[in-house]
Structure 1
Amino acid sequence: MTELRVTAAGAGTLLRILRDGRPRTRSELASVTGLARSTVTQRVDALLASGLIGPAGEAASTGGRPPTTFSFRPDARVVVAADLGATHARLALTDMTGTVLAEERADLDIALGPEPVLDWVVDRGRALLDGAGREVPDLLGVGIGLPGPVEYSTGRAVNPPIMPGWDNFDVPGYVGARLPVPVLVDNDVNIMAVGEHHVAWPTASHLMFVKVATGIGCGIVSEGRVYRGAQGAAGDMGHIHVPSGAGRQCRCGNTGCLEAVASGAALAEALTAEGVPARGARDVVELSRNGSVPALRALRQAGRDVGEVLAASVNMFNPSVIVIGGALALAGDHLLAGVREIIYQRSLPLATEHLSIVSSTAGESAGVIGAAVTVIEHCLSPEHADTLVTRA
């Protein structure tokens, strides 16, 4: 066991280099890292034993026997990723690049409480593993997004307004007892921001992802990292006051919040009052797709209301990309048009000169991809990959 630790130590650094997909020889790895050839050989052997890398053919010969190249094996482990919303759940199995291998969606009320919801995640996660011919030992980790504030360091929800029974519940402990792998938990909008950044904007230094659905929230990626704030409440834009919300009661207890006038629930309620029955965000989307003028008008105004809040954020944060996602974004360009209209009116020209305001590319899979990427980046970071290699 001692010898294995010595051999595995520092293997995570080589893995980080090889994760770019380019095969390299031992000599190339020694040149890149400055390590002795014998040290590189030990670490490559440890990575080969773990299955995380594999031979990738031979490099061109320089006179003797052609040297073997090695590359990262993204299919060596898989990740179970869950995006839990207020009334729905999406689950996926991915490889170690975040590519979705299998996926399913279900109507699942988060208000059922942590045990029933997390039992569904575990049971269906095992089913996805079975369906892909994989076993629990193949599992790198589990990533979960929750529709409320999360203390990322502990994976516990903190005073979530729509999640009775979840406050301070030990989500990583509960899931980890059933699937003995690292379990990472974050706010659902944060993981959607990570997923969108990974899929469509990997070089964007400053990105904001706005989810407009049953609730409204924002995930912020700065210099490639999620910005969560002191207590994990960064980006909770749904409870910022907007002029059009005057007197409107919000579920948070305040009046005039953005969520009280521009969320899917608020639009459905307003349309129903106009004689256009709608029960939630998806009904609003369906109405708009069928050409309902009241629904289209409501979506455009919701975009303006969201833009009111984002205009101030653009001046403060100066993002390079704003991505609009969530259920209401599926309605087409009407919501996005309203957002753009107000941002370009209210924000400083310097802040909007190179600003892209776009719809989500990852779509409804943004959350599960982001949850998977969160697990992958954690588990394959040099410090944690060494532990993974040693255990293997």
Structure 2
Amino acid sequence: MTDSAREASLVAPDAAPLLSILRDGIPRTRAQLAELTGLARSTIAVRIDSLTAAGLVAPAGDDVSTGGRPPARIRFNPDSRVVIAIDLGATHGVVAIADLAGTMLHSDSRRIQISDGPEPVLDWALATASGLFAESGRPLGDLIGIGIGVPGPVEHSTGTPVNPPIMPGWDRFDIPAYVHRTFDVPVLVDNDVNLLALGEHATSWPEQSDLLFVKVATGIGAGIINGGRLQRGAQGSAGDLGHVRVPFGAETPSHGAQDADLEALASGPAIARALTAIGIPATTSDDVVTLARTGNPAVLQAIRQAGRDLGEVVATCVNLLNPSVVVVGGSLSRVGEQLLAGVREVVYQRSTPLATQYLTITHSRAGATGGVLGAAIMVIQHALDPDADRHSPAPSRSLGR
């Protein structure tokens, strides 16, 4: 079955808005749905029948009677289908099976090296996914798609990484085609920071329509939620903060003779280099996190300065985008309050009072599961949401490995 055939058979276009209402988890009667949508009861009945036949909605018992036979309620049925979600970082991999509500049903993780190249990394992810799917006991027909996050720029419409700086061998590698050799379902690929933003928004800030997620780890990037939607930009490169030049003012001392890229100043390896230069050996983000827990004043000062450097760029984002929430995540978010304090210090100085009046700047709450949850949400939105983008890779023509 082709990708397009699978998508067409899942939700009829005219029934998708009705399903969108029910996906909030609140059971409703046909009368309540007619009142919410303005549609005729007969139209509601036809569309509910369509969604019931697809298994996407199910009876939820009777409502309270106001006289006569109590009206039946309908609920969203998230257990009717599943997705595979894969989160690949520079040094970690997480694979999960999730239902249509984004609930993780089965998962596995391990340390990986994204620099090993696409085939060994994807072989592990696909073998793990196959094992988890077998463990779930679900028929293959229940799988509606696979979402994958990678730590580099992605052309979302084709699912191919483009010049990813920390992913040697991945440039223009056709990830969807490689995955289709194992699973003949739609495959969506995105930058890991975009998926972290989706996961954070869904789990911690669903009531906020404007959120900026900033990942600080081996690299630095941002995921932008605007108007409740993930914003990828024209080619999918929105949020590339790591290559923004950091200006230095009187209150922010320069680290050299001239301004530098944010990633060269505030990423995990950058802080490690700064610490090594003052006689405190460090190499990775994990080293910096470990050193931060010792309470060494020099380490804490280096982290605070990295937060200020990050704040210089985030302040511009706040002025430009006016988010309600700025979430700082990634491996370096585990260093404690010093990084966040540096960000706040500069953002509240540099951004306009109106933009910061109700602004929240905080740590990530989704934690290690944020990326894989975001990968699941990406697929679920694509399959069920009438306003989601519809750019999926071309159907696979060769199956089997």
TM-score of the aligned structures, taking structure 1 as reference length: 0.88
Deviation, 1:277, is: 2.7
User: Is the contact made by 1:220 and 1:235 (CA closer than 8 Å) also made in structure 2?
Assistant: yes
Paired with 1:367 and 1:382, the residues of 2 have a C-alpha distance of: 23
Structure-2 residue corresponding to 1:21: 25
Structure-1 residue corresponding to 2:394: none
Alignment of 1:72-151 (within 5 A): 72-151=76-155
User: Is the contact made by 1:245 and 1:260 (CA closer than 8 Å) also made in structure 2?
Assistant: no
User: Is the contact made by 2:117 and 2:167 (CA closer than 8 Å) also made in structure 1?
Assistant: yes
Question: Is 1:375–2:379 an aligned residue pair?
Answer: yes
Question: Is 1:289–2:297 an aligned residue pair?
Answer: no
Paired with 2:236 and 2:269, the residues of 1 have a C-alpha distance of: 24
Residue 185 of structure 2: SS of its match in structure 1?
coil
Question: Is 1:171–2:175 an aligned residue pair?
Answer: yes
Deviations 1:158-187 (A, max 9, x none): 111122222222212221331122211111
Deviation, 1:383, is: 8.2
State which of 233, 236, 240 in structure 1 corresponds to 2:237.
233
Closer/same/farther in 2, CA of residues 231 and 245 from structure 1, 3 Å limit: farther
- Whichever residue aligns with residue 343 of structure 1, its letter is V
Structure 1, 283-292 or 27-36: larger mean CA deviation: 27-36
Closer/same/farther in 2, CA of residues 351 and 25 from structure 1, 3 Å limit: closer
- Whichever residue aligns with residue 158 of structure 2, its letter is T
Structure-1 residue corresponding to 2:342: 338
Question: Is 1:49–2:65 an aligned residue pair?
Answer: no
Structure-1 residue corresponding to 2:395: none
Deviation, 1:71, is: 0.6
Deviations 1:280-306 (A, max 9, x none): 111211111232333222211110110
Deviations 1:311-331 (A, max 9, x none): 222222222211110000011
- Whichever residue aligns with residue 203 of structure 1, its letter is E
User: Is the contact made by 2:55 and 2:80 (CA closer than 8 Å) also made in structure 1?
Assistant: yes
User: Is the contact made by 1:245 and 1:257 (CA closer than 8 Å) also made in structure 2?
Assistant: no
Paired with 1:131 and 1:210, the residues of 2 have a C-alpha distance of: 35
Residue 179 of structure 1: SS of its match in structure 2?
coil
Question: What stretches of structure 2 of length at least 5 have no aligned partner?
Answer: 1-7, 249-253, 389-401
Paired with 2:173 and 2:73, the residues of 1 have a C-alpha distance of: 47
Instruction: Say what the alpha-carbon RMSD is for the aligned residues.
Output: 2.3
Deviation, 1:118, is: 1.6
Deviation, 1:9, is: 6.2
State which of 327, 352, 365 in structure 2 corresponds to 1:348.
352
Question: What stretches of structure 1 of length at least 5 have no aligned partner?
Answer: 249-254, 385-392
Question: Is 1:10–2:29 an aligned residue pair?
Answer: no
Closer/same/farther in 2, CA of residues 229 and 8 from structure 1, 3 Å limit: closer
Closer/same/farther in 2, CA of residues 211 and 46 from structure 1, 3 Å limit: same
Alignment of 1:202-241 (within 5 A): 202-241=206-245
Structure 1, 28-37 or 359-368: larger mean CA deviation: 28-37
Residue 342 of structure 1: SS of its match in structure 2?
helix
Paired with 1:299 and 1:102, the residues of 2 have a C-alpha distance of: 36
Deviations 1:72-103 (A, max 9, x none): 11122222212211122122222212222233
Deviation, 1:31, is: 4.2
Deviation, 1:63, is: 4.2
Closer/same/farther in 2, CA of residues 204 and 30 from structure 1, 3 Å limit: closer
- Whichever residue aligns with residue 176 of structure 1, its letter is H
Alignment of 1:192-341 (within 5 A): 192-242=196-246, 243=248, 244-246=254-256, 256-341=260-345
Q: Count residues in correspondence.
A: 374
Paired with 2:79 and 2:305, the residues of 1 have a C-alpha distance of: 45
Residue 239 of structure 1: SS of its match in structure 2?
coil
Structure 1, 125-134 or 206-215: larger mean CA deviation: 125-134
Deviations 1:26-47 (A, max 9, x none): 3433444444444433332332
Paired with 1:75 and 1:41, the residues of 2 have a C-alpha distance of: 22
Structure-2 residue corresponding to 1:183: 187
User: Is the contact made by 1:11 and 1:382 (CA closer than 8 Å) also made in structure 2?
Assistant: no
Closer/same/farther in 2, CA of residues 344 and 67 from structure 1, 3 Å limit: closer
Structure-1 residue corresponding to 2:396: none
Closer/same/farther in 2, CA of residues 63 and 222 from structure 1, 3 Å limit: same
Deviation, 1:269, is: 2.5
User: Is the contact made by 2:13 and 2:386 (CA closer than 8 Å) also made in structure 1?
Assistant: no
Paired with 1:170 and 1:284, the residues of 2 have a C-alpha distance of: 35
- Whichever residue aligns with residue 269 of structure 2, its letter is A
